[in-house]
């Protein structure tokens, strides 16, 4: 468990955050713009000083007393901020802070499926590929805690899904803990083990995604029963084809979640969606 309790002031902004993150889990930080999400990540990484409190890591060490460069933390922002003049390989190796570990870099290049672009500069890559390199760079020193600040928001749906899957695979392999800022509720619902709400510098709640995202906080909730007609799985994610009335459509779900709930072709499922953004049309 990461046990975090921090108080920090800058001008008239005060952050007061207490949260507990299960080690090895993926945790989401949710909150309006200006609520202090980025500040909290920067405090955890040691990029802001002068906080009081503690950051107790699972091994009992208090990271707050450690300088930034000694904290086993990886950080990745919305904008990848790769070094344009360095190759993909050297961008990843940069995360190793001078140590040249060719094997680690090669393993990460393989994991992000960019071994064949190792010597290219970031300028020749797509946005999704750049984010993959940024993720590999953040993971290069094998951090215990990976901090992600809206990592998928600059990507299209397809590239975002691919990066999410990659993140899950790497997390399963390496067992690091993730704290991720996102504004996307369905992304949070799909990926998170716990969700924490930050409002005006204060953690106003935290808990299971179901409770935090599907509760009364949504302005409306749409529900309908449907039948699963087909399941396709790649071992990590499963695509469910469901039938509702005469319509069929596809949904992506976590494969481990699907297996845990025994959902297969023929299963009845309850579909729910946040309904804060309805459009209404007359039936012709």
Chain positions contacting ligand ADP, by CB under 6 A: 10-11, 13, 31, 33-39
| Near Mg ion in 18-37, by CB under 5 A | 37
To ligand ADP, the closest distance from the beta carbon of 234 in angstroms equals: 34
How far apart CA 161 and CA 249 sit, in angstroms, is: 18
Instruction: Please count the CA atoms within 13 angstroms of the CA of 89 that sit on its side-chain side.
Output: 14
Q: Both ends of the chain: CA-CA distance in Å?
A: 56
Q: Find which of Mg ion, ligand ADP, none residue 39 binds, CB within 5 to 8 Å per kind.
A: ligand ADP
Residues 6 or more apart whose CB falls under 8 angstroms from that of 214 comprise 189, 221, 272, 274
Phi and psi (nearest 5°) for 134?
-65, -40
Q: Find which of ligand ADP, Mg ion, none residue 31 binds, CB within 5 to 8 Å per kind.
A: ligand ADP
With respect to ligand ADP, which residue has the nearer C-beta, 38 or 194? 38
Write the DSSP assignment of 176-236 as a string of letters: -EEEEE-S-HHHHHHH-SEEEEEETTEEEEEE-HHHHHHSTTSS-EEEEEEEEEEEEE-SS
To ligand ADP, the closest distance from the beta carbon of 19 in angstroms equals: 15
How far apart CA 170 and CA 109 sit, in angstroms, is: 12
Q: Find which of Mg ion, ligand ADP, none residue 13 binds, CB within 5 to 8 Å per kind.
A: ligand ADP
With respect to ligand ADP, which residue has the nearer C-beta, 31 or 46? 31
With respect to ligand ADP, which residue has the nearer C-beta, 54 or 202? 202
To ligand ADP, the closest distance from the beta carbon of 157 in angstroms equals: 23
Task: Calculate the dihedral angle through the C-alpha atoms of 60, 62, 68, 74, rounding to the nearest 10 degrees.
Answer: 40
With respect to ligand ADP, which residue has the nearer C-beta, 11 or 262? 11
Q: Find which of ligand ADP, Mg ion, none residue 67 binds, CB within 5 to 8 Å per kind.
A: none
Q: Find which of Mg ion, ligand ADP, none residue 182 binds, CB within 5 to 8 Å per kind.
A: none
To ligand ADP, the closest distance from the beta carbon of 239 in angstroms equals: 33
Please answer whether residues 271 and 245 qualify as being in contact, where contact means their C-beta atoms are separated by less than 8 angstroms: no
To ligand ADP, the closest distance from the beta carbon of 195 in angstroms equals: 15
Applying CB under 5 A, which of residues 15, 26, 27, 38 lies at the interface with Mg ion?
38
Could you tell me which stretch among 13-21, 38-46, 89-97, 136-144 binds Mg ion (CB under 5 A)?
38-46
Nearest alpha carbon to residue 228 among 270, 272, 271, 269: 269
How far apart CA 116 and CA 120 sit, in angstroms, is: 9
Interface residues with Mg ion (CB under 5 A) are 37-38
């Amino acid at each position: 468990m990461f046990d975090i309790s921090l108080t920090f002031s800058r001008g008239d902004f005060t952050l007061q955050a207490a949260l507990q993150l299960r080690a090895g889990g993926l945790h989401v930080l949710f909150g309006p713009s200006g609520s202090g999400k980025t500040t909290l990540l920067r405090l955890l990484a040691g990029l802001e000083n002068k906080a009081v409190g503690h950051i107790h890591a699972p091994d009992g060490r208090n990271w707050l007393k450690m300088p930034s460069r000694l904290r086993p933390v990886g950080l990745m922002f919305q904008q990848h901020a790769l070094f344009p003049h360095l190759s993909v390989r050297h961008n990843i190796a940069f995360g190793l802070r001078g140590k040249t570990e060719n094997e680690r870099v090669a393993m990460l290049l393989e994991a992000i499926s960019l071994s064949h672009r190792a010597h290219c500069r970031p300028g020749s890559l797509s946005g999704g590929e750049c984010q993959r390199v940024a993720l590999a760079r953040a993971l290069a020193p094998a951090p215990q805690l990976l901090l992600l600040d809206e990592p998928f928001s600059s990507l299209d749906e397809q590239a975002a899904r691919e990066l999410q899957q990659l993140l899950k695979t790497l997390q399963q392999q390496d067992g690091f803990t993730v704290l991720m800022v996102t504004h996307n509720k369905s992304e949070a619902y799909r990926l998170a083990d716990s969700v924490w709400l930050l409002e005006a510098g204060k953690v106003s709640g935290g808990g299971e995604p179901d409770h935090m995202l599907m509760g009364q906080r949504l302005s409306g909730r749409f529900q309908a029963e449907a039948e699963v007609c087909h399941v396709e799985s790649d071992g990590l994610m499963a695509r469910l084809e469901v039938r509702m009335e005469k319509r069929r459509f596809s949904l992506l779900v976590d494969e481990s979640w699907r297996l845990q709930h025994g959902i297969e072709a023929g299963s009845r499922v309850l579909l729910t969606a946040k309904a804060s953004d309805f459009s209404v049309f007359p039936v012709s």
